[in-house]
């Protein structure tokens, strides 16, 4: 008969830790550990330059609403928002109420537009945090007015979105009379129509016949509002591509996102003078010397055709370095381009440093941005992955610290 012993639970004795922890810049957050050599560098000077470049392009009388949704396109929403507001942006735009609250918690006091609409249950937070909701449905207005009434707050500024052809968010022009009727009613007094907006569907297309038609519908809607006595002071339409391509559509404010981070949706619609704010770097963990004929990484898709030296780099698709770039991507080592060899794995990629006999362990590897005289652009990475530049920037994962 066997005797059942109680399961021995292993425990770890606490050790006084003196390792490479550092306090995050936000003191309310726990200390963070950064030992992995992979990180994204965010150049605040480039963010300032880009805001100023946009401001010059649109003129000083036009406001700039800095779009910092999706964690500032992967650059860190709080730092980006602070930088843009300090550099003269009128305010910031986010997609979600949660993202707006994050900015308020970081003591950013500028106007914060919430682009994604008013979800039931979010109205009290919107009022409490003084967020500026983008609205397009009667339900939005009802929810918000009730929340303002409950809180006793002054009328809440709102921006009305009109769907002129994107077929996504916004009221169709035909729905405006109903909304205006509501705003003229008793509950409408709790809201203040500060802005009207629409969004381009094709401003970055080479052959864009859509934007002029959207603009026509927008000015038609403005006239309809004016005929009912509504003259919202902030009319805004242009995203980054729009502000480059359609200078007559700047109105009172522009809403750039990607331009502020230093790119365009494609090189053709990039505003001249921008600087890429994000670069991504790592280091070679170790060097592997392999004979011709050796096969590399999962699936053994790649066979070496010559005796090779492979640098092992701790970056993978879990960091937002897309696996589908395998066999196409390049990185910079000692200012030279090196091919990524074999499949990119979750945490590690292999790069061919055979032509750099001096490359050794600890060597700096640049995956995005400049090193020496060469640079890997966001467009190049996007091309290798067959995605748009936005997806690369937003996709650099939380696991990669921003410095």
Ligand X SMILES: *Cc1c(COP(=O)(O)O)cnc(C)c1O
**Residues involved in catalysis:** 69, 298
Q: Which is nearer to ligand X, 239 or 308 (CB)?
A: 239
Report CA dihedral (131, 136, 142, 147) to the nearest 10 degrees.
-10
Q: Which residues pair with 234 in a beta bridge?
A: 195
Q: Does 94 interact with ligand X (rule: CB under 6 A)?
A: no
Distance CA 44, CA 64 (A): 17
Pick from 240, 308, 326, 371 the residue near ligand X by CB under 6 A: 240
Residue from 239, 282, 343, 371 touching ligand X (CB under 6 A): that is 239
CB 170 within 8 A of CB 198: yes
Question: What's the min distance (Å) between Cβ of 286 and ligand X?
Answer: 39
Residue 239 vs 326, nearer CB to ligand X: 239
Question: Of 242 and 316, which has the nearer Cβ to ligand X?
Answer: 242
Binding-site member from 117, 256, 311, 316 for ligand X (CB under 6 A): 256
Scan residues 181-220 and list those touching ligand X (CB under 6 A).
199
**Per rule CB under 6 A, is residue 115 in the interface with ligand X?**
yes
Exactly one of 97, 135, 202, 258 binds ligand X (CB under 6 A); which one?
Answer: 258
Percentages of the chain per state (helix, strand, coil), in multiples of 5: 35, 25, 45
Query: What's the rounded Cα separation, in Å, for the pair 195 and 59?
Result: 19
Closest C-alpha among 104, 30, 24 to residue 68: 104
The residue range among 20-28, 179-187, 226-234, 237-245 that interacts with ligand X, by the rule CB under 6 A, is 237-245
Whole-number Cα distances in Å, 134 to 45, 97, 144, 157, 228: 30, 11, 11, 9, 20
Residue 113 touches ligand X, criterion: CB under 6 A: no
Residues 6+ apart with CB under 8 A from 343: 297, 298, 299, 301, 302, 323, 326
Size of the residue set binding ligand X (CB under 6 A): 13
Minimum Å gap between C-beta 383 and ligand X is 18
Least distance to ligand X, CB of residue 136, Å: 12
Q: How buried is 93 (Cβ within 10 angstroms: 0-12 exposed, 13-18 middle, 19+ buried)?
A: buried
Smaller CB separation from ligand X, 235 or 255:
255
**Rounded Cα gap, residues 243 and 269, in angstroms:** 9
Binding characters for ligand X, 52-81, by CB under 6 A (x = yes):
---------------x-x------------
Positions touching ligand X (CB under 6 A) are: 67, 69, 115, 199, 239-241, 255-259, 265
């Amino acid at each position: 008969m066997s005797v059942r012993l109680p399961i021995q639970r292993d425990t770890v004795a606490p050790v006084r830790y003196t390792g490479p922890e550092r306090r995050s810049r936000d003191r309310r957050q726990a200390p963070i550990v950064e030992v992995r050599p992979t990180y994204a560098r965010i150049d605040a000077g480039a963010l300032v330059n880009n805001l100023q470049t946009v401001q010059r392009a649109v003129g000083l009388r036009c406001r700039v609403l800095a779009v910092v949704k999706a964690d500032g396109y992967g650059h860190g929403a709080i730092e980006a928002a602070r930088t843009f507001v300090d550099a003269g942006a009128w305010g910031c735009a986010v997609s979600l109420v949660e993202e707006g609250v994050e900015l308020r918690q970081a003591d950013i006091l500028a106007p914060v537009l919430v682009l994604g609409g008013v979800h039931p249950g979010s109205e009290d937070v919107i009022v409490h945090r003084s967020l500026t909701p983008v609205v397009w449905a009667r339900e939005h207005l009802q929810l918000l007015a009730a929340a303002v009434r409950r809180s006793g707050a002054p009328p809440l500024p709102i921006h009305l979105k009109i769907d002129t052809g994107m077929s996504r968010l916004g009221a169709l022009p035909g729905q405006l009379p109903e909304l205006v009727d509501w705003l003229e009613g008793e509950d409408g007094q709790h809201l203040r129509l500060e802005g009207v907006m629409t969004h381009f569907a094709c401003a970055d297309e080479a052959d864009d016949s859509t934007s002029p038609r959207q603009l026509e519908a927008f000015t038609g809607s403005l006239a309809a509002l004016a005929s009912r006595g509504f003259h919202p002071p902030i009319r805004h339409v242009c995203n980054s591509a729009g502000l480059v391509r359609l200078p007559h559509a700047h109105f009172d404010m522009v809403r750039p996102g990607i331009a502020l981070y230093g790119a365009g949706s494609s090189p053709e619609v990039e505003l001249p003078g921008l600087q890429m704010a994000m670069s991504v770097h790592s280091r070679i963990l170790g060097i592997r010397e392999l004979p011709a004929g050796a096969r590399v990484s999962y699936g053994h898709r790649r066979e070496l055709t010559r005796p090779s030296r492979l640098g092992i780099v701790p970056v993978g698709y879990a960091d937002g370095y897309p696996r589908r770039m395998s066999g196409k991507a390049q990185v910079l080592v000692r200012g030279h381009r090196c091919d990524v060899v074999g499949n990119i794995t979750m945490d590690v990629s292999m790069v061919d440093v055979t032509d750099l006999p001096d490359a050794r362990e600890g060597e700096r590897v640049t995956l995005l941005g400049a090193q020496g005289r060469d640079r890997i652009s966001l467009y190049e990475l996007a091309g290798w992955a067959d995605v748009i530049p936005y997806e690369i920037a937003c996709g650099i994962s939380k696991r990669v610290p921003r410095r």
